Amino acid sequence: MAETSVFGQTRGMGELIDLDGKETDLAPFGNELAELGRERPEIVGLTADMGRYSDILPFRDAHPDRFFNVGMAEQNLVMAAAGLAKTGKIAYCTTYSVFVTRRAYDFVAIAGAHSKADVKIFAGMPGLTNGYGATHQATEDLNMMRGIADLTIIDPCDATELRQVVRAVADIPGTVYVRLLRGKVPIELPPDYRFVPGRAALLRDGTGVGVISTGYMTARALDAARASLSSGVDAGVLHVPTIKPFDTAAVVEFASRFDRIVVAENHKKTGGLASLVTEALYDAGVLRPMIRIGLDDGFFECGSQEYLEAKYGVDLPRVVRALVDGT
């Protein structure tokens, strides 16, 4: 019999871990969208049989005449959203990240981005937030999507930011891809935090080592920075929620003030944030030792998020080690 882990069991529905002692917000995406839909009648909602697991049901319940479940048909999800957009709607659509990226890529690129259609894709369970293995884990989605021109890509950190992103994307022209956090989403960022499309946010200043992170790994970075203080490390944290367009200037400025850099993302080490940071710094001639915290290439197994993060090296202790030991 195979040895099992102490880290619980597989959970497939993308609820986050490390919530002990943290305030949470239940279904921030759907609740914010339902409210926004009251203010803006041009907003419509679609899902590809992932209404429950993408938290869009509050919008459906509030605006049933503006909601369409196309079934397990991600290509049609994007096509129908683009068609709605071309009649003046702002079409928010949801499914899992893996399905909209791997199955519907051509449609996102051409019917969406190329057509400058107001399609706002909220893609559930990015990275290791899904425990159902490689079929359900979007670990290369940033890499894929950044290759599409005229596409905005956002990886929010927490419920505070996600609610702001729901509103902001309505006014970002064209097609937007957002990595969606669902269920009980922790509140990690301060109340005065303001998401600005295309801009990175300095969340913590420091000396010596600076973390550049995106998505919920920014919460890990903040936790790790606090945990490292007792070891005499005062790490800075730059949060980069907008992956495309990339805030090159902020990243270069931040990195230039530190001796070494740690990049943390809920994604493979290649093609995502670490690659973007590397390109930006190399182009600018700001060369710093860098540790990339992310996933090595591979297909990943089923399991609890705790188990997977520990096994594949993206959990809190991994970030602390990078800050304190520099390894």
Partner 1 sequence: MPATTTLPAPDVAALEDRAHALRRSMMEMTRGKGEGYIAQGLGIADCLAALYFHELRYDPARPDWPDRDRFLLSTGHYSIAMYAVLAEAGYLDPDELPTYGLNGSRLPMSTFDVTPGVEIVGGSLGHGLGQAVGMALGLRIDGRDSRVFCELSDGELDEGSTWEAAMGGATFGCDNLVALIDCNGIQADGPVTVAIEPVADKFTAFGWDTQEIDGNDMAALVAALEAARSRDGKPKAIVLRTTPGFGVPTLMGRPRAHFVRVGDDEWADFMAELEADRG
The residues binding partner 1 (CB under 8 A) are 44, 65-66, 68, 70-71, 73, 75-76, 78-89, 91, 106-107, 110-111, 114-115
At closest approach, how far in Å is the CB of 95 from partner 1?
13
Buried b (16+ CB within 10 A) or exposed e, 188-225: bbeeebebebeebbebbebeebbbbbbbbbbbbbbbbb
Nearer to partner 1, 38 or 194 (CB): 38
Candidates 140, 186, 191, 180; CA nearest to 156 is 180
At closest approach, how far in Å is the CB of 107 from partner 1?
7
At closest approach, how far in Å is the CB of 190 from partner 1?
39
Q: Is 195 left (phi over 0), alpha (psi -120 to 50) or beta?
A: beta
How does strand 236-239 pair with strand 201-204? Answer: antiparallel
DSSP E strands, 17-150: 24-26, 43-47, 67-69, 90-96, 119-124
Nearer to partner 1, 100 or 162 (CB): 100
Nearer to partner 1, 80 or 157 (CB): 80
Nearer to partner 1, 87 or 230 (CB): 87
At closest approach, how far in Å is the CB of 93 from partner 1?
10
Nearer to partner 1, 56 or 91 (CB): 91
At closest approach, how far in Å is the CB of 116 from partner 1?
9
Q: Which residues, 6 or more positions from 103, have their beta carbon under 8 angstroms from its beta carbon? A: 74, 75
